Structure 1
């Protein structure tokens, strides 16, 4: 078996950060951009076929004023008729520290009514080139009146 240069050896990195979702107010982090025809009279916030575009801040701690380490940009599509089920494509871009300029991409179901859930890491760029792995999510705060939430992420990623 050939010996690979150090930069070509697979590494495993564990990341911890917090995602802040604020769907309302003057600077929302999630905006509905599409709602399927025939669902406009549906009073649910997530009728089947609805699409949101998101730009969430990522912080090193749970407090909203904690140090920002990056952002999560992407989209959610409501894909459940009988249950609240979103499909998420998100790109976690890091803007500080060792992984500044790198990102991790996830594509997965997001059963948002579950406090704990898991996303699949499907790729990355920069220091996370050829990434694969998983992200464990845990909702640590939810405000039912305005939809604000804080989600703790622990991401295990293998990359080159």
Structure 2
């Protein structure tokens, strides 16, 4: 017995309905995923350039950078410091002097990742205090070859004003004290947000 056109349409709609019910029940089962309204992403993109001076104080009573894992002993006398990991809460200042206006804090860690040269993996949040950026964070990560004049790392995100941020930073060492180990680095942050 051959199916009529009405029966074929009815069967097709029944199959589609079952398929939709399966999809809906799978979404309800997980309960943690939903679509985002595309209007949420239609804000105008802003491009900003920030300049901070990163104050890495490694010794004394006011240290802002402390080792949590020392370098591997066989590398202690080398220039690599391989294995060293430091947690930081460094001042971000307007000028290169430590007593310059405080704009925020660089919080995160850096780790010596090369056995043959002074190279660090940098993972930091630039938590800002000034103006409309107060409470907002720019997150960066990347490879920092300490002896290169300019090092480039990635802006990998942010929060507050910097939600969905992307961009890059250029780091340039301003001064390094070989006795104390204290370092001042100029960070130029180019960010789209």
- TM-score greater than 0.5 by the shorter chain: yes
Distance 1:140 1:95 in 2: 23
- Structure 1 spans left out of the alignment, 5+ residues: none
For residues 102 and 42 of structure 1, do their structure 2 counterparts lie closer, same or farther at Cα, with a shift above 3 Å needed? same
What do residues 48-97 of structure 1 show as CA deviations (whole Å, max 9, x unaligned)? Answer: 22211011000111111111010000011111011111101010000122
Distance 2:111 2:158 in 1: 21
Which structure dedicates a bigger proportion of its chain to strand? 1
Cα distance, 1:134 vs structure 2 = 0.7
The equivalences for 1:127-146 within 5 A come to 127-146=161-180
Could you tell me which residue of structure 1 aligns to residue 119 of structure 2?
A: 85
What do residues 97-151 of structure 1 show as CA deviations (whole Å, max 9, x unaligned)? Answer: 2210001001100111223211111001000011100111111111111111111
2:184 to 150, 157, 160: 150
Alignment RMSD (CA, Å):
2.0
Q: Establish whether residue 72 from structure 1 lines up as the match of residue 106 from structure 2.
A: yes
Q: Secondary structure at the match of 1:54?
A: strand
Could you tell me which residue of structure 1 aligns to residue 18 of structure 2?
A: none
Distance 1:70 1:7 in 2: 29
- Structure 2 spans left out of the alignment, 5+ residues: 1-37
Distance 1:46 1:23 in 2: 17
Could you tell me which residue of structure 1 aligns to residue 73 of structure 2?
A: 40
Distance 2:64 2:48 in 1: 27
What do residues 24-69 of structure 1 show as CA deviations (whole Å, max 9, x unaligned)? Answer: 1111111110136xx2354247532221101100011111111101
Q: Establish whether residue 8 from structure 1 lines up as the match of residue 33 from structure 2.
A: no
The equivalences for 1:12-31 within 5 A come to 12-31=47-66
Distance 1:156 1:34 in 2: 31
Deviates more, 1:109-118 or 1:6-15: 6-15
Cα distance, 1:5 vs structure 2 = 7.7
What is the aligned length? 155
Distance 2:66 2:117 in 1: 21
The equivalences for 1:98-137 within 5 A come to 98-137=132-171
Q: Secondary structure at the match of 2:73?
A: coil
Deviates more, 1:39-48 or 1:96-105: 39-48
Which structure dedicates a bigger proportion of its chain to helix? 2
Distance 1:103 1:127 in 2: 8
